[in-house]
Amino acid sequence: MHEIAFGLELAGTSFLWALRKPHDEGIQEQAVLPSGFGGRTRGRGLVATGWAPQLSVLAHGSVGAFMTHCGWSSTIEGLLFGHPLIMLPFLGEQGINARLMEKKQVGAMVPRRETDGSFDRDGVARAVRGVMSDEGGRVLQTNAKKLQELAMDKGCHDRYIDEFVQYEILTRATGTHRK
């Protein structure tokens, strides 16, 4: 958490960080963030602890990018609003999703150290600045907007579902269904 916080601070951009409250009741929320972080980022950064209305936040016109762990639902939600992604995968399929989005050039992955797989504040700051910069950010923004069109294409999604249902009906009828 400290490295993310320091990275946001170093990036120098405005931010809203929706931070879950610690699961351990003995840990104070202030202990999760570096000492003085709130004061140093006052006026350009806000940390919201607990639940945040992610879709409402992403729909706001002032959002320039979305830092996400790249779970599939969050990835799609970011793309629904055409936001480039700052990707910080932690578990499971998140790394695969992040690599796919990086290949599609809709975001930047926070780099990890080869030695231990951890990330640091400089990597967080570089990824944030890269996505928010005029030069690199425009390409990511344009590509995110293209994927937004696909993510919002209800007709396309309906066709996929219809084709899947037809495939299931056909394979069951012919006995070629794989179990």
Q: How far apart are CA 82 and CA 146, in angstroms?
A: 8
| Cα–Cα dist 127/67, whole Å | 10
Q: C-alpha 45: how far from its chain's center?
A: 18
The whole-angstrom separation of Cα 32 and Cα 110 is 20
Q: How does pLDDT run across 14-43, given as a tens digit for each residue?
A: 999 998 766 655 555 556 899 999 999 999
Q: What is the pTM of this model?
A: 0.81
Report the C-alpha gap between 116 and 142 in whole angstroms: 34
> Which residue carries 């762990």 as its tokens?
69
Task: Give the chain's residues under pLDDT 70.
Answer: 21-31, 157, 177-179
Please name each of the domains of the chain with its CATH number.
2-152 (3.40.50.2000)
CA distance 169 to 48: 48
Q: Which tens digits make up the pLDDT trace of 114-135?
A: 899 899 999 999 999 999 988 8
Helices (H), 53-153: 54-59, 72-80, 94-103, 121-132, 134-151
Cβ atoms of residues 19 and 48 within 8 Å? yes
The DSSP letter of residue 61 is: T
